[in-house]
Amino acid sequence: MKPLLTKTTKPFLIYVLIVLMISIPVYYFVVDTIWKSELDEHNQIIVEKTAYEFNQLKLSEEELNKSLALWNHIQPETNIEKISTQQIKRDTVYTYEKHLPFISEQKKERYRCLRKVVYLQNKPYLFTIQTNIEESHETIAVIAMITIFFFVIIVLGLLYLNRKLSSSIWKPFRNTLDQLKTFNLNSQDTVQFQASDTTEFEVLNESLYKLIERNISTYKTQKEFTENASHELQTPLAIIKNKLDLLLQDQNLTEGQYRIAEDMNKALTRSSRINKNLLLLAKIDNNQFDSSEIISFDHLLQQSIDNLGEHIEQKNISIQEDISSGVQARGNSILTEILINNLIINAIRHTAPGGSIAIQLTNSSFEVSNSGVEKLNPDFLFKRFSKLSTDNSGSGLGLSIIQEICRFHHWTISYRFDNNHHIFTVKL
């Protein structure tokens, strides 16, 4: 990613470069046009002044012819010749190129020419004057060098100004970003943004302040609901379960009544488990857990395996362990323990008696695999209350909780079916 100023500066510099490149031929044509206009005026003055001076001498015709011959011989790039009245034409201004005979280098020179009829001693003469024009390629080269020079000055100036402006004008914006980076919804502290004299930044700060206030209010409401639901729902569920346990111990129950009470107890137990899991998901979504603990992952894993060892033995499941020692992670130990237990319990529940489970832990991943027959549908794998098997003892939220815990810790979980084994991998 690139800073905002860099993204705006580059197109601007490209635009300036294009404009300056276009300006080179424009400069040349403008300068050339002005130069030709000045030369035309200069030639006009020379012709008129020369004619005036010759007329002031009041020479005889013979002396005038000798003077004109001498003038044509020694005066460079001019010519005065006598014409008849039938040859009188309008003044002509034009440009042409020619080789200079007295220069050894073979190159052409441009000339601005004027052909004008003047009257000397009341007789018409054709006055031709040619004035050298500055070399065109030299003019273009000079203009190009000047343009490049100013382009370099503009680039250096823009880079310098961008740095200065970035550190001063954008300082309130960076302060706002820093405040947002350190904002923690769990602390519920109101953010105080630095005041700015820039309208856009001030509007941004006001909008963010209102947004954060609404989020804090919503967070408090959700947190209160979660806490109230946790207390208000669990208490009556616990009372009902205790009453059912007492009822099941009654010796006067008939067999039919006992089966009905037992079914009610199973449904109530499942409802209680679903309620606890939904509340847990709500707490995770509301970021109500601390994520700054240093977790001894290998110790938690070994503890879970030992606690669930009886369930593994009951189904005669062989277990293979490959656990690296000293594996640590930053996060929440309670959620991590739930993740480990859910993955292992899920493997035990969906492994046929006599099957196998493999558990592997490294510094970068945690993997649980169990033997199976058919690949699970990955589209419904982590959806809440999705049924991937006929086993109704679970709440249907185990894998969803695992996924949310991974998301909370910024871990990733993946599933694959390889060599008749369901494999769940958590990238730490």
**What letter does residue 135 receive in the DSSP assignment?**
P
Which of 95, 75, 68, 84 shows the shortest CA–CA distance to 117?
84
Q: How far apart are CA 415 and CA 350, in angstroms?
A: 15
Q: Residue 347, exposed/middle/buried by CB under 10 A (0-12, 13-18, 19+)?
A: buried
Q: How far apart are CA 173 and CA 193, in angstroms?
A: 10
Q: How far apart are CA 201 and CA 209, in angstroms?
A: 12
Q: Are 143 and 27 in contact (CB under 8 A)?
A: yes
Residue 184 pLDDT exceeds 90: no
> Which domains are assigned to the chain?
4-156 (3.30.450), 200-285 (1.20.58), 293-427 (3.30.565.10)
pLDDT digits 0-9 by tens, 202-256: 888 888 888 888 888 887 787 777 767 766 777 787 888 888 888 878 778 788 8
**What letter does residue 90 receive in the DSSP assignment?**
-
Q: Phi, psi (5° rounding) for residue 281?
A: -60, -40
Which of 368, 354, 363, 365 shows the shortest CA–CA distance to 415?
368
Q: How far apart are CA 79 and CA 77, in angstroms?
A: 7
pLDDT of res. 105: 59
Total-model pTM: 0.49
pLDDT digits 0-9 by tens, 15-57: 888 888 888 888 888 888 888 888 899 999 999 999 999 999 8
Q: Are 349 and 291 in contact (CB under 8 A)?
A: no
Percentage of the chain lying above the pLDDT 70 cut: 90
Q: How far apart are CA 293 and CA 271, in angstroms?
A: 32
CA–CA distances in Å: residue 240 to residues 209, 269, 274, 319: 46, 10, 16, 38
Q: Are 194 and 178 in contact (CB under 8 A)?
A: no
CA–CA distances in Å: residue 296 to residues 103, 268, 327, 368: 94, 35, 6, 18
pLDDT of res. 76: 78
pLDDT digits 0-9 by tens, 59-99: 888 898 899 999 888 887 889 998 888 887 888 998 888 77
